[in-house]
Amino acid sequence: QVQLVESGGGLVQAGGSLRLSCAASGDNFGTYTMGWFRQAPGKEREFVAAVHWLGTFTHYADFVKGRFTISRDNDNSMVYLQMTNLIPDDTAVYYCAADRLAALNTVATKSPSAINYWGKGTLVTISS
């Protein structure tokens, strides 16, 4: 069992930056590929970024490449999403996800209901 708790959301102006954190509790954190997803009002949940359970590979949605960076700290069971050059379209609830031994493209493409664990989300609002 893994529990995920996101933090770091808030209100920022366009062009600003935020760093989201996801604290994981439970066993074998190092065996989970970790991802960030987001869901804007009236839209489906969408993939943002993932970091492989080995920690050496990352994968991003095209719309965040060059702006967002995902990283993990296996010693402290943490995952981060550094977001820069934010735009109003980035406004959404951001969710942390964990999928055991998953490949990066699997986390990016599988149905959300098939991912092992989810956090409750943190709201990011970007003002224009």
Taking only the tens place, the pLDDT of each residue in 27-81 is: 899 999 999 999 999 999 999 999 998 888 999 999 998 999 999 999 999 999 9
> Hey, which residues does 97 pair with through a beta bridge?
35, 118
Q: What is the pLDDT of residue 56?
A: 81
pLDDT tens-digit map of 76-107 = 999 999 999 999 999 999 999 999 988 888 88
Q: What is the pLDDT of residue 26?
A: 86
Pairing label, strands 10-13, 122-127: parallel
**Mean per-residue pLDDT for 14-23?**
98
Angle (CA) 103-70-123 rounded to 5° is 110
